[in-house]
C-alpha cells in the first residue's frame, strides 16, 4: 500500500519538499498542526527539523502548535476549540513561513481554520491527508492524499512521507 502511494505521488512529495526547502533557504519556519495521532505526528516531524533527522546540522525552525498547552487551553476556553490553531497561526506565522497540516479525514475544523488563516496571510499550506482529502483539500497549495479511510493506515503512510520530506530537506540544505 505504502509503495503504491509513494509511486503515485512522488511528484507531490518532491514539490512539498521543495516548498519546505525554499522556506528554510529564505530563513523562515514550518508550522505544524493536527489532532490526536496527527498531533503526535506533527510534533514528531517538527522535532526532526529542530533536532535532526539523519544529518548532524544546525537546527531549522519548526513549531507544532498543539504543544503549548496553556495557549491551547486558553484559546479553547475563550474562543472555542475550533480556533486553537488559527489564533496561533495569526500570532506566529510570518511571511514566507509554511503551514503543514496533518488530518486523517481532512475535515478537522480547527485544522481547516488554521489553513484558512494561512491562506489569508498569503502563506503556503501543505498537508498530509487521508480518504478523499476532505474539506481542507481546496485550501492546500500541495497535499499528499493517502487514499484510505482507516486512520492508522493514513498515519503510518503520512509518517513515512513526513520522514521523506525531512530527508529531502536535509539533503538539499546540508549534504556536502
pLDDT one-digit tens code per residue, 9-44? 999 999 999 999 999 999 999 999 999 999 999 999
Q: What percent of the chain is modeled with pLDDT above 90?
A: 95
**93-139 residue pLDDT tens:** 999 999 999 999 999 999 999 999 999 999 999 999 999 999 999 99
How much is the pLDDT for 107? 98
101: containing domain: 2-174
Mean pLDDT of 155-166: 97
Residue 145: pLDDT over 80: yes
Contact 31, 93 (CB under 8 A): yes
In percent, how much of the chain has pLDDT > 70? 100
Residues paired with residue 143 on neighbouring β-strands, in sequence order:
127
CA neighbor of 163 nearest in space, from 7, 8, 4, 17: 17
Task: Output the domain CATH number for residue 151.
Answer: 3.40.50.10490
**How many domains is the chain built from?**
1
Listed in sequence order, the DSSP H helices in 51-150 are 69-79, 86-92, 109-121
116: how many CB neighbours lie within 10 A of its CB? Answer: 15
Within 8 A by CB and 6+ apart from 175, the residues are: 55
pLDDT computed for residue 162 by the predictor: 98
Angle between helices 10-25 and 151-174 (to 10 degrees): 50
Provide the whole-model pTM: 0.97
Q: How far is the first Cα of the chain from the last one, in angstroms, to the nearest whole number? A: 33
Q: Quick one: CA dihedral 24, 167, 49, 11, positive or negative?
A: positive
Looking at every residue in the chain, the average pLDDT score rounds to 97
State pLDDT tens for residues 52-88: 999 999 999 999 999 999 999 999 999 999 999 999 9
The yes-or-no verdict on residue 2 having pLDDT over 90 is no
Q: How, if at all, do strands 125-130 and 98-103 pair?
A: parallel
Instruction: Give the pLDDT confidence score for residue 1 in this predicted structure.
Output: 79
pLDDT for 5: 86
Amino acid at each position: 500500500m505504502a509503495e503504491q502511494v509513494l509511486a503515485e505521488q512522488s511528484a507531490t512529495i518532491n514539490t512539498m519538499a521543495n516548498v519546505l526547502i525554499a522556506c528554510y533557504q529564505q530563513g523562515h519556519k514550518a508550522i505544524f498542526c493536527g489532532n490526536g495521532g496527527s498531533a503526535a505526528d506533527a510534533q514528531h516531524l517538527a522535532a526532526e527539523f529542530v533536532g535532526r533527522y539523519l544529518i548532524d546540522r544546525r537546527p531549522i525552525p519548526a513549531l507544532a502548535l498543539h504543544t503549548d498547552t496553556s495557549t491551547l487551553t486558553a484559546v479553547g476556553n475563550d474562543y472555542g476549540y475550533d480556533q486553537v490553531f488559527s489564533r496561533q497561526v495569526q500570532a506566529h506565522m510570518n511571511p514566507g513561513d509554511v503551514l503543514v497540516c496533518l488530518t486523517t479525514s481532512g475535515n478537522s475544523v480547527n485544522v481547516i481554520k488554521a489553513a484558512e488563516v494561512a491562506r489569508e496571510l498569503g502563506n503556503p499550506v501543505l498537508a498530509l491527508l487521508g480518504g478523499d482529502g476532505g474539506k481542507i483539500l481546496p485550501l492546500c497549495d500541495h497535499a499528499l492524499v493517502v487514499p484510505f479511510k482507516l486512520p492508522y493506515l493514513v498515519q503510518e503512510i503520512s509518517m513515512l512521507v513526513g520522514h521523506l520530506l525531512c530527508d529531502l530537506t536535509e539533503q538539499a540544505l546540508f549534504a556536502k
